[in-house]
Amino acid sequence: MNALGYDVFNPLEVVPEYVPDRSTKKDDKVDYAILLENKPTILIECKRVENDKLDIKKHGAQLFKYFTASKAKFIIFTNGIVYKFFSDVEEPNILDKEPFFVFNLLNFKPNQVKTLESFKKDTFNIEEAFTSAGDLKYIRAFEQVIEETYRNPSDEFVKFMLDHTGIFEGIKTAKVIEKHKKTTETKVKTP
């Protein structure tokens, strides 16, 4: 939070052990809430660093409850190394099942830093961040499809690549397609 410019020692800005407004249990507390204009805007739920999976299926009900009860616009689910950003891009007031952005301190791309910077206190704009969240959600989905397509290319994909790269001008027989399918599979980097 400090890295994003929020003052963790200012209780009007960062509230530890935040109790959501409509919480049904006194013990239901989100680890941190970042307040903007005295309203919870970003909730942060922390798990142990050993929890490297940050399984949304296991913790989804908890996050959903906090999100709904607080009326915050974003939840960050983290183990201190991996940060998963959630919102209600798909349906208003219902926390999405998948994050729109994931930032890993040990493995990130330079363009992800720009996305993270959009959550900095001095530049944060809730409407722009939410619009960006929708875009990021779809970009992330497209990237996953492309990555999976490279890992397990179909014959049609290999034909498409051969046609559009111009590296092979002959007839695309089953043998040629199989050869280039193996080439595609071995050239894909593991994230």
Q: What is the 3-state secondary structure (H, E, C) of 13-42?
A: CEEEEECCCCCCCCCCCEEEEEEECCEEEE
CA angle 81–136–60, rounded 5-degree value: 55
Of 64, 85, 63, 59, the closest CA to residue 74 belongs to: 85
pLDDT at 74: 95
CA angle 33–35–9, rounded 5-degree value: 75
Predicted TM-score (pTM) of the model is: 0.77
pLDDT at 26: 62
pLDDT digits (tens, 9 = 90+) for 82-136: 999 999 999 998 899 989 999 999 999 898 999 999 999 999 999 999 989 988 8
pLDDT at 191: 43
H or E, element range at 78: strand 74-78
User: pLDDT tens per residue, the chain (191 residues)?
Assistant: 788 999 999 999 999 999 887 655 666 889 999 999 999 999 999 988 876 677 777 877 888 888 888 889 999 999 999 999 999 999 998 899 989 999 999 999 898 999 999 999 999 999 999 989 988 888 888 888 888 888 888 998 988 888 888 888 888 888 888 888 877 765 554 44
